[in-house]
Amino acid sequence: MSAAVGCGASSSLSRGGGRADEGGEIAYVSYGGEQHLPLVMSLVDAELSEPYSIFTYRYFVYLWPQLTFLAFDAKDGKCVGTVVCKMGEHRGAFRGYIAMLVVLKPYRGRGIATELVTRSIRVMMESGCEEVTLEAEVTNKGALALYGRLGFIRAKRLYRYYLNGVDAFRLKLLFPRPDPGLPPMMTGSERDDQQMDSPYL
Ligand SMILES: CC(C)(COP(=O)(O)OP(=O)(O)OC[C@H]1O[C@@H](n2cnc3c(N)ncnc32)[C@H](O)[C@@H]1OP(=O)(O)O)[C@@H](O)C(=O)NCCC(=O)NCCS
pLDDT over 70 (residue 168): yes
* CB contact at 8 A, 68 and 85: yes
DSSP E strand stretches across the chain: 26-30, 69-73, 79-90, 93-103, 131-137, 153-158, 168-174
Q: Which of 9-23, 124-138, 146-160, 173-187 has the lowest mean pLDDT?
A: 9-23
Whole-model pTM? Answer: 0.85
- How do the residues of the chain divide into helix, strand and coil, expressed in percent and rounded to 5? 30, 25, 40
What is the DSSP pairing of strand 93-103 with strand 131-137? parallel
Q: Would you state the pLDDT for residue 147?
A: 98
From 103, 112, 164, 170, give the residue whose CB has the most ligand 1 atoms within 8 Å, as the site to mutate.
103
| CA neighbor of 7 nearest in space, from 47, 48, 66 | 48
| Sheet of strand 26-30, all strands in order from the earlier edge strand to the far edge | 26-30, 69-73, 79-90, 93-103, 131-137, 168-174, 153-158
The CATH number given to 26-194 is: 3.40.630.30
- For residue 9, give the DSSP letter: B
Q: 200 and 121 in contact (C-beta within 8 Å)?
A: yes
The answer, yes or no, to whether residue 148 has pLDDT greater than 80, is yes
The protein residue whose alpha carbon is closest to atom 15 in ligand 1 is 146
Substitution site in 10, 12, 14, 15 for ligand 1 pocket (most atoms within 8 Å of beta carbon): 15
CB 143 near ligand 1, within 6 Å: yes
pLDDT tens, residue by residue, 18-68:
344 456 899 999 999 999 999 999 999 998 888 899 999 999 999 999 999
